[in-house]
Structure 1
């Protein structure tokens, strides 16, 4: 929009007023500011830390998350220990046990936080059916690998990753405010990485 459309009709022919407004518009043009604001704050796909923090407040999700994750570990069946219940997986099936569970507070960097914000926005409008959850997972982990949801048909469902998810990805899936899960359904995470 140009300044000519904002000047009242009775002053439109005044060279003095038009000159003042034209020089002000040239000095204080908002085109560059508008483009930068759109890129760094408004557009969820391109915004930076400041913009993501604003989007996080809008959808009501924090940048820090608690994660508790106990994967299967490499080991021998006879060495099973009650303190490490998932200890007896063979070679090429699970990582070595490091002595402590993968848990704690995770502060999300920009890209995982962007995914979390999109996930929360999607959760606000979804009906939590299997096709919608699979659409959600495809959107959320686009470009990272194949991930999908399966139903156990007994009030359970599994999120299957065919790639190794990061700790922040697991935190997003475990967050009950973000993951669109039907009421009363328990969720488990399965990592099924196939050898090439």
Structure 2
């Protein structure tokens, strides 16, 4: 701190004592290390730091996850038959769901990879494998008719299904319809 004092005050013992006391109380290195660990490093960031990094790469923490099963047909992933489900009323029955820090960290890394990738099938497959390592065989299929399908070998949870369909962490090319295939 003494190197920031003007030369006319360099010999003032009171000012130098105040600056020395403040210098020990305010350790800039510890603050910068804390900022780097809690905010700027994606591997160790938490809470607000992840929210900030998510805004930078363009992925939101909140997802809409329906807890009700609706009456539907076999092509719907969460459809149930008559007598077990309700008719869809187009109203949100549940509030938005905020994903955990670990899941959000994976979404941020996937979106960051998407932002710099060429969106070829192998690069999208690499993003899928990194985002969903516990689902085994997860890949994207080009259907050659302006559609593409994200294929899961195991049924994804509602949160993971919302990540695929709503988060924006996976590519959806312009003019291409995207579907999700689950067992």
TM over 0.5: yes
Cα distance change of structure 1 residues 35 and 190 upon mapping to structure 2, 3 Å threshold: same
Quick one: distance in 2 between partners of 1:61 and 1:145?
Answer: 24
Cα distance change of structure 1 residues 114 and 152 upon mapping to structure 2, 3 Å threshold: same
Match of 1:84 among 65, 72, 75: 72
Equivalence map 1:16-27=2 (5 Å): 16=13, 21-27=19-25
User: Unaligned stretches of 5+ in structure 2?
Assistant: 87-91
Contact 1:40 1:46 in 2 (8 A): yes
Deviations 1:85-119 (A, max 9, x none): 119xxxxxx99948348x86433222222222223
Match of 1:183 in 2: 174
Any idea what SS the aligned residue of 2:140 has? strand
TM-score, with normalisation over the residues of structure 2? 0.69
TM-aligned CA deviation for residue 40 of structure 1: 1.5
Deviations 1:61-105 (A, max 9, x none): 332223579x9xxxxxxxxxxx53119xxxxxx99948348x864
Match of 1:152 among 113, 121, 143: 143
Match of 2:48 among 37, 47, 50: 50
TM-score, with normalisation over the residues of structure 1? 0.65
Task: Say how many residue pairs are matched.
Answer: 170
RMSD, aligned CA: 3.7
Any idea what SS the aligned residue of 2:148 has? strand
Quick one: distance in 1 between partners of 2:106 and 2:85?
Answer: 27
